[in-house]
Structure 1
Amino acid sequence: MFKILKRPLFIIPAVLIIGGTGLWFVRSNKPVQYETVTANRRDLVQEVSVTGHVEPTESVDLAFERSGKIASVPVAVGAVVTVGQVLAGLDTSQIVAQLAQSVAALESSRAQLAQYQAAADAQSAKLAELKRGTRPEELAIAQADVTSAQSVLADAQDSLTKVQQKADVDLNNLYSGVSDVLNDAYAKSQDAVTKQTDPMFESDSSASPVLSFTTSNTQARYDAENGRASATTQLAQFLQETQASTASTAQLDAAMHSVANHLNFFLSFLTSVSNALNAATSLSSTDLATYKANINTARTNVTSALTSINTRIQTIDSQRAINDSATTAAQASISSAEHTLASAQAQLALKQAGSTSEQIAAQQAAFSQAQASVASQRAQIKQAEAGVQTIQTQLNSSFIKAPFPGLVTKQDAKIGQIVAQNAPLVSLISASAFKITANIAEADIAKIKVGNHGKVTLDAYGSDVLFQASVTAIDPAETVIDGVPTYTTTFLFDVNDERIKSGMTANIDIETDRRTGVIAVPQRAVQRDDGTGTVRLFKNGAAVPAQVTVGLKGSDGFIEIVNGISEGDAVITAESK
């Protein structure tokens, strides 16, 4: 049994060696199999693919150039506006009044210049007459001029009287209602303090009133109780002022300003009570709601009274300014008429007395003085024109206007809001023209130049919807992103399309170069080295290396062969056994 098993131990290795040697011999003699392509002519396109974002070609944040109270907001977010359209406006009532007053003063100055110029012309003519000598008919004319100047002066004096009378009437009309305004303010203040807040205090008429409820806001409690004690004194003073304010306009003015202070105090007192109510801990919901309603009623009434007082003060001040301007103009007319009369009388006297060398010299001086008055008045006109221009500039700065046609993307302006100067409120972007900005790596930027065209797809619409765009700008300064230098490149859509929206993600394939009808092979068939390369041609059943010069690398996987092979050559791309 042992002998039978021992023999196969020597036979098995020998069989394995013979079998392996035969398999190697068979495989080593199997021919190499090559995969080839034919070198053909084709069109190559080189593209750079980048991703960017759609932006408006123009965008701006707008603000008022001065502070003020917003009076109008004619457009909302999403509105399409034209260039120059008003987007928001401030209250301009005071500026408009100032402008009207400045324009009136300018017109008055111009009228006075005309008068001064006329006087200067008269002095010039008189000087000429003195030098020429007096004739009888000239004496008659001079006398007529004096008579006319006297009439003009009388008319100017009468006009001043009428202007002053009208000014007094206008002011008296305004002051006649002041007492009613003061009494109304007192009534509303008394109602607010003694009626509306009465349930909220104990011993409210004493020197130490106490809140009738508990509150966790100790400061508000302190302010409210002290305010109620002071309110009693303030009401007493208020009543005395309204009863003693009927003697003169000065007393009425003082009373109105004092009453305004009282009303502001009452508003502060009501605020303290409101703060205490907001932290009340011992009131039922019904009582709390009633007390809060009382406070709101009191506030509304006192605020209304304060508005009436302030409005009346502003109206009176405005009327005084108008009266002063009219009186000044009337007085200027009298001065001019007096000047004209004096000139006419002097001219008549000269003509009657005849001309002497001294008179001629004096008239020469008078003429020079008249010319100086004209020059001075012209300087005043320039100053008045500058004042009008300044106020006009302030009026223009009261409006935010669209600097270009576009779409409103932000509108934070609210009517009644008090805004600061240069605080951005409105944002505007161009409505139709959009651009794409993308950061292109330094490896690709050298291929791109201004004017290159590209195909664009937007993520919002998928790859089937194509848009066309062109390179319009390349930032010369690099932007480093994740340690890689990139260059911000701007594209402009060739055609405006309403589907394009700001902020969309854009994918751009930029055509950077093109070759038509060139010999090309797959890039994997070429071993490249600095513009040259090597390919293997399949000739006579064997691989033959060939040196080639390569050109444009296409985006489809093919590369241009400038020279080294011919059209129709079989180029090896892979091999196997």
Structure 2
Amino acid sequence: MIPLSFLNAKVKIIIFCSIIVGSGILLGYRVFFRDEPGAREVVTVRRGSVVQEVHVTGKMKASEAVDLAFERSGKIARVDARVGDRVVKGSVLMVLDQTELQTQYEEALASTAVERARLAELRAGTRSEEIVVAETAVANAKIAVVNARQALEDAKQNLVDKLRDTYTKSDDAVRNKADQLFYNPQTNSPQLSFSLTDSQLKTDIEWRRLLLESLLKKWQQSENPLTTASDLAAYFGEAKNNLEAVKVFLNSVALAANNPTNKPSNISQTIWDGWRADVATARTNINTAISNLSSADENVKTKDASVATAEGNLQKSQNELALKKGGATPEAVAAQEARIAQADAKTKTIVAQIEKTVLRSPIAGVVTKAEGSAGEIVQSGALLVSVLSEQLFEIEANVPESDIGLVQRANKAHVSFDAFSGSVFIGAVALIDPAETVIDGVVNFTINVLLDYPDARFKSGLTADIDIETARRDDVLVIPQAALAEEDDGEFVYKATNGGVVSVPIKIGMRGTDGLVEVAEGLSEGDSIIAVSRMYDDGR
């Protein structure tokens, strides 16, 4: 017989082991197999969008009226809007006369077409006919150079002739015509053959005659080697100075001879009148020589410039011929492309100016002011039209400084109103006030949100709940935040496999405010993972 005490101990052990096994089975069931609320939740890794949002509340208010004016002066061509008219965004309200600008626009288009045609020619290369034309131009340019050089040589010869003629006329004027009035004129002591009432004039005339004798001798000697190859500019300067000296001398002689009181009694009136006539003729000849010499010198300068022009034209023709034979260089093509870009820019500028002749409404609303009529001249900046928004409202909200760094202009916004339960409106952040606003000791920044479409139900003062989308990742792998486990060495998930559940380290990207997390590495689309928050709810 088995003792009762021993039986009781054995039963106790069996009962204790049964309790342990049953508790383990129950715990495993509750963790991995229960489907009731709070049990394990299996999540499938999928592709989706992760969104970060900032939530604020605000008030709706009506947008202000816009006052419109032209950016340029002009004559009104037509008025399309009157007070009380309802207009949509972009509606034409008033137009200035565009006749001149349209002409400029057509000219700009034509210029652009010409430049494009030239570029096409450059890229296509030079035709044989164009090379023949260029060769002909070079030949003609060479002929022009020869003719110009011959014309210059002729002009130089004419100047040489005039230089020699100036000496001849000067020698005749002094030694043949004026010397009739002198004793010993070609000596070292020439003397007038009659007395003058002005003794100083007599002395001046005799002194100048003495100087002229030496001048004429030197002049004759310098003229002997004169050719077209000589320094004609130097000869011209010398001859001009010599003629001036002869002219001054003859003027003084004429002053003496034309004074009746100076006529000597032993000289007949006929002889005296003859002397006077010869002096007058001499003065005329010298003046003619001066004029002819100046004209000849100017002709040489003109012909010299013509030679330079002809040689320049020849060089240009030769360069063009070489360019046509060699084809267009990359630099030439690039330069022509730049001319096209310049022409296009000019066209765009004119288009912009034409656009400035059209006054458009920037908003939908009602015209509250319309001044001016067709034919009236208006100045730039003069207020002509005002438009008040009927349905365009904006929402003003305050964003705490902790969130303002996330918000940017044009951020998408989802807006809902207590007054329109179940309706969500789409808009965007239109304005962020750079100045802070302190509310109850907290720094905020005012933003304005514009809705994409108006609604007849909108009223000023409506309270709005705004979710501003500050960041977004589309078509990425996502899991719920509840499925993410985190430790000091990083993030991981519990991945369900055929053999059970394994811990898998992952790298995450952006965390969404909607509870989703982007998976950057470690999982694939379709993987099954365990929501770890379910595993540990209520202490399990």
Shorter-chain TM-score tier: 0.3 to 0.5
Highest CA radius of gyration, 1 or 2?
Answer: 2
What TM-score do the two structures reach when normalised by structure 2?
0.33
What TM-score do the two structures reach when normalised by structure 1?
0.31
